[in-house]
Amino acid sequence: MRIKHLTLALAAAALFSTGAQAQTEIQWWHSMTGALGDKLNELATGFNNSQKEYKVVPVYKGTYPESLTGAIAAFRAGNAPHILQVFEVGTATMMAAKGAIVPVAQVMKDAGEPFEPKAYLPAVAGYYTNTKGEMLSYPFNSSTVLFYINKDMFKKAGLDPNKAPKTWNEVLAAADKLKASGQACVYTTGWPSWMHIENLSAWHNVPIGTKENGMAGLDTEYKINSPLHVRHVAMLGDMAKKGTFTYAGRTNQAEAKFYTGECAMMSSSSGAQANIRRNAKFDWSVNFIPYHDEVKGAPQNSIIGGASLWVMGGKKPADYKGVAKFFAYLSKPAVQMDWHTATGYVPITMQAYEVTRASGFYDKNPGADMAVKELTNKAPTANSKGLRFGNFVQGREVIEEEMEAVFAGKKDAKTAMDEANRRGNEILRKFEAANK
């Protein structure tokens, strides 16, 4: 059976390669599955049909870490793909790999493709831009963190369902009422570090680390044991003790708890909306994440998560021309709008956002523009344009381990955040030593 498939595949490959001899193939490794994967393939097909010179070949390579590991191995063996989709926490790893990657701005310039970095949403492009203003990778799928409430449960608890809590004090007050109304799970969260450390900092214009959150140098240090961070984590710990905060896990496990109606409030990715829309049998709303009103100037703007496309080094100049053409195609407002409305990821150019608004999509799908609004709430500052920490895969793990210890009541917030800061800095020093 397998052999039969293999021969079929080989035959098909042979057929294709003869048919596409004149075309230059661009390998694109990605990690999108299901509906997202279908949509991604559609983008490639759309580009391939729009011209004859180049053919983009999307290949699914497993989850983000798997695909990155695979690409690293392929690079070491001299077979890296042209384009690699890398999740946001891998940004520093990619960026430090000079010689393994080519900055997107460079690719566009060499190919003579029109490229205007200012056309992109600052909160999106800023994440992948170095301090010299050079865009390093192409922002492909970006989301941010939002706050969801179950309106039916708010009504049941005697709260105004049309007034979602705006500040953490309001969240606490609502939480007590929800708890009193017999609600077992009051508040839960997805992506604890992304939401409660990274976005908490940006939303209050407080640094996550020195050197512009690591963007201005490898000698950055974490600053996640500031009074605000400690107070916030302590607040969550208290909520957990009181039973108004239910910890769900390190990724998106919270989303199922929300759309099944188990939890009344949730903070998680803007990408959760698609699933909630499909599964929730109750009235809900999506809102800005809460802020601490005693912090002056809050709320600032939130930061993105998701992934970007990196161009790998060591290919022929003609190949890079194709890559540049493909990125130019992806930036077209119509293509962006299609991707944004189908997937729920934010549009990456202002123009695409305007076009989508003009189409009436946001009137029909209230909340679909909430992510863009939150990301553009204010012009990003050095504290809120993004972050770039070496080995942040490990860094996030350390942060989440320490937060879990607080939620479980094993450590107090101050001890835990001091420890997270110390352990995080050790990882940063190691990364610095390996990449200097």
Partner 1 sequence: MEKRVVFRSAWLPYALVAPQIVITVLFFFWPAVQAVWYSFQVQDAFGLKTEFVGLRNFAELFADSHYLDSFKITAFFSIIVAGAGIAISLVLATFADRVVRGALAYKTLLIWPYAVAPAIAGALWAFLFAPSVGILSYFLRKTGYNWDWVLNGDQAMFLVIVAAVWKQISYNFLFFLAGLQSIPKSLIEAAAIDGAGPGRRFRDIVFPLLSPTTFFLLVVNIVYAFFDTFGVIDSITQGGPAGATQILVYKVYYDGVKAGDLGGSSAQSVVLMAIVIALTVVQFRFVERKVNY
Residues that bind partner 1 (CB under 8 A): 65, 68-69, 72, 75-76, 93, 96-100, 240, 247-250, 253, 256-257, 260, 262, 391, 393-394, 397, 400-402, 404-405, 407-408, 410, 423, 426, 430, 433-435
Instruction: Answer positive or negative: Cα dihedral of 11, 16, 22, 28.
Output: negative
- SS3 of 46, please? helix
Q: Are 287 and 382 in contact (CB under 8 A)?
A: no
Exposure on the CB side of residue 340, measured as CA atoms within 13 A: 30
CA–CA separation, 186 and 207 (whole Å): 30
Q: Are 187 and 265 in contact (CB under 8 A)?
A: yes
Task: Report strand pairing: 305-312 vs 101-102.
Answer: antiparallel
Exposure on the CB side of residue 295, measured as CA atoms within 13 A: 22
Nearest alpha-carbon partner for 305 in 140, 429, 121, 417: 140
- The DSSP line for 322-347 is HHHHHHHHHTSHHHHHHHHHHH-PPP
